[in-house]
Amino acid sequence: MTDKVTELVSKCLQARDLAYCPYSRFPVGAALLTADGAIVTGCNVENASYGLTVCAERTAVQRAVAEGHRQFTAIAVTCDIKDRFVGPCGACRQVLMEFGSNWTVYLTKPDGTYKETKLHELLPLPFSPEHLAKN
């Protein structure tokens, strides 16, 4: 594991501890690695109007874009499930796809072990910005 992946995994675990999830009690943490080596984190932020909940991955993306980042090389995602690797929800896969298909998604367990996947494996045959450009 490279130092940068170690850091990314560690930051997503820390981000999970900041989750605001009083309704589901299901904390999720995410850490995005930008092309210039910055790390931007996110956690899930729930709402009393449940449908307004924002997932950890999307919190990280919104924050990163607002901070001027649009190129990403990896994201690490974690939750409290210890016995299997858990992937981002479908909505988050689509939001990640907005920024390219060929980047790495580290599905991370609470003990820091991870499974390395690619976004295009998690969301095959996607709808993406290039389809709009072809109209």
Residues with a catalytic annotation lie at: 57
Q: Report the alpha-carbon distance of residue 56 to residue 52 in Å, rounded.
A: 13
Q: Give the one residue of 13, 55, 105, 119 binding ligand THU; rule: CB under 6 A.
A: 55
Measured from the CB atom, the residue of 53 and 62 that comes closer to ligand THU is 53
Q: In Å, what is the CA distance from 100 to each residue of 30, 50, 130?
A: 18, 29, 10
Tell me if 91 sits within 8 A of 58, measured CB to CB: yes
28 interacts with ligand THU by CB under 6 A:
yes
Measured from the CB atom, the residue of 80 and 132 that comes closer to ligand THU is 80
Cβ neighbours of 121 (radius 10 Å)? 11
18 interacts with ligand THU by CB under 6 A:
no
Whether residue 79 is annotated as binding a ligand: the answer is no
Residues in contact with ligand THU by CB under 6 A are 21, 24, 26, 28, 44, 46, 53, 55-57, 88-89, 92
